[in-house]
Structure 1
């Protein structure tokens, strides 16, 4: 997860198993709080989300967009 000085993000210690087709993925739940006090929740699975762009790069979609 990228650093953001506006958010305080903490690991909850909670994981979740997510089944997509025949494959099972384990993701982590994170909890955060914005500087305004709003409580936020995040799902962390770096192979799906830790990328330079959201849906693809240089006009080419990521092959696993449907899974993500």
Structure 2
């Protein structure tokens, strides 16, 4: 009886350790995709601004 209780806590459906771990994995994968997109977008903006600043500097003869 006690063994069945602990098995349910570990492998059961809702609220079990396995279910919580799966939920955490889903959150981490979502965070990874969000951060990946953020850094790609940030790099694109940084490159664009750098090119504009370089153009301004070239226009000033520097």
Q: Which TM-score applies when normalising by structure 1? A: 0.19
More strand by share: 1
Higher Rg of the two aligned structures: 2
Q: Which TM-score applies when normalising by structure 2? A: 0.19
Higher relative contact order (CA 8 A, sep 6+): 1
More helix by share: 2
